[in-house]
Amino acid sequence: MFISLKRYLVGADYELAESARRMARLLLEAVRLHAVVGDPSEHKKFQKDIARLEAELDREFTPSQVLVVAGAAAKTLEDYSQRTMRYVRMQSAELQGMLAMLTETVAAISAASDRTVTRLQNIEKQLERASMLEDIRSLKARLAECLVSVREEARRQREEMARTVTELRNEILRAQQRQAPAAAPKPAGAPGGLSRADAEEALARALEERAHAYAAVFVIERIELVSGRFGAQAGEQLVQFFRHHLAEGLLSSDRVYRWGAGSLLVLMERSCSLEQVREEAQRVASVRLEKTIQIGTRTALLPVTSRCAVIPVFQYPSLRLLIEEIEAAVARRGAAAC
């Protein structure tokens, strides 16, 4: 009888051990697959530890031995959870520091950024209450949106400030020029202004001093046609009229040089970009002008239009290459005008 009972008890122990092993394997697999990912290296190590415990269950086990593996798994999970929580707290503290610094910076930039500052302060408060890694990830996404808004606002303010500074500087210099007691005497050279030799000398000096200067070339349209029909005197009147327009429309420090028969060159020292200088020159060149000229006993009202090109002087290694580029620009604008 005892032999028969022992046989049934042995079978019961085996089934109990097998059931416990299956349950433990399922639990370990669930823990391995659904564990929260914090630090990637720690998560990889945790996966290996759980996989090692799963492999130990493949050996012959008694129910008590299964409980030992389950205890080791619980200890592994507890250690990993503590490391993950430390990682989450470190990430949270780092984000809080970044947010505090960013909020102070944005607040110092301009009062126009009040809305962005408020959004950042709200995220900072939510981050202090965040306890789960998913919360921090969500807040990171919101922080990225705020950063995009900050960059756009900073770019807009920078462009607006550059335009305002340029306009104010132009107005101040024009006012000073208007209030000057007497106009400076014109240097000798080409009729009505500085000559091409003066221009080449100024360009050479700008290259030598490595000044952040631009050469703006203005080609007056239909000069040859006007000169051929009404005489060279009429064409010269249009050139001098347009030269005066450039002197009024640009800074008083910008020198206007006569480059060719129907072209003028302005040396513009600017700290801004090529696009901004191009816009400034185009604004002056695009004005439609009319000039009444005297032809013997008659008068004629002629339109005065121009085409312009801006060349960054500081990008050229020699005066020869710079002059070649200026000549090519004049030729292209002259051909387009014809």
Taking residues 28-51, report their average pLDDT: 79
Of 177, 209, 235, the residue at which a domain comes to its end is 177
CB neighbour burial string for 167-193, b if at least 16 within 10 angstroms, e if fewer? eeeeeeeeeeeeeeeeeeeeeeebeeb
Residues 218 and 263 in one domain: yes
Question: 168-178, pLDDT tens digit by residue?
Answer: 666 666 665 55
In a domain, 309, yes or no: yes
Q: What span, in angstroms and rounded, lies between the C-alpha atoms of 313 and 277?
A: 12
In a domain, 232, yes or no: yes
Of 177, 207, 230, the residue at which a domain comes to its end is 177
Per-residue pLDDT at 9: 40
Per-residue pLDDT at 322: 93
* Residue 249 CB neighbour total at 10 angstroms: 17
- Per-range mean pLDDT, top range of 21-25, 226-230, 323-327: 323-327
Per-residue pLDDT at 183: 42
Asked if pLDDT for residue 111 goes beyond 70, the answer is no
The residue type of 280 is: E
In a domain, 211, yes or no: yes
Residues 38 and 128 in one domain: yes
Taking residues 9-36, report their average pLDDT: 69
Closest CA to 281 of 267, 302, 291, 263: 267
Residues 162 and 278 in one domain: no
Asked if pLDDT for residue 303 goes beyond 80, the answer is yes
Q: Which residues contact 274 (CB under 8 A, 6 or more apart)?
A: 214, 310, 312
CATH code of the domain covering residue 292: 3.30.70.270
Of 127, 147, 177, the residue at which a domain comes to its end is 177
Per-residue pLDDT at 49: 83
Total of domains in the chain: 2
3 state DSSP class of 216 = strand
* Residue 225 CB neighbour total at 10 angstroms: 14
Residues 124 and 247 in one domain: no
Asked if pLDDT for residue 128 goes beyond 80, the answer is no
32: confidence class by pLDDT, cuts 50, 70, 90 = confident
Residues 217 and 330 in one domain: yes
Residues 160 and 272 in one domain: no
In a domain, 81, yes or no: yes
Residues 21 and 85 in one domain: yes
In a domain, 43, yes or no: yes
CB-count burial class (<10 Å; 0-12, 13-18, 19+) for 99 = buried
Q: What span, in angstroms and rounded, lies between the C-alpha atoms of 303 and 289?
A: 6
Q: What span, in angstroms and rounded, lies between the C-alpha atoms of 293 and 5?
A: 131
In a domain, 186, yes or no: no
Asked if pLDDT for residue 13 goes beyond 70, the answer is no
Asked if pLDDT for residue 210 goes beyond 80, the answer is yes
Residues 207 and 309 in one domain: yes
Per-residue pLDDT at 181: 46
Residues 139 and 210 in one domain: no
Residues 215 and 291 in one domain: yes
Residues 296 and 331 in one domain: yes
21 or 218, which is more confident?
218
Asked if pLDDT for residue 323 goes beyond 90, the answer is yes
Domain span holding position 208: 196-337
216 or 123, which is more confident?
216
Residues 16 and 122 in one domain: yes
Taking CA atoms, 338 is separated from 40, 211, 220, 334, in Å, by 68, 34, 11, 6
Its pTM stands at: 0.45
DSSP characters for 152-187?
A: HHHHHHHHHHHHHHHHHHHHHHHHHHHH-SSPPPPP
87: confidence class by pLDDT, cuts 50, 70, 90 = confident
Asked if pLDDT for residue 217 goes beyond 90, the answer is yes
Asked if pLDDT for residue 187 goes beyond 70, the answer is no
The residue type of 296 is: G
Per-residue pLDDT at 40: 82
Per-residue pLDDT at 165: 63
Residue pair 254/193 in contact by the 8 Å Cβ criterion? no
Closest CA to 92 of 62, 125, 66, 121: 125
Asked if pLDDT for residue 58 goes beyond 50, the answer is yes
Closest CA to 250 of 267, 232, 225: 267
The rounded mean pLDDT for the chain is 76
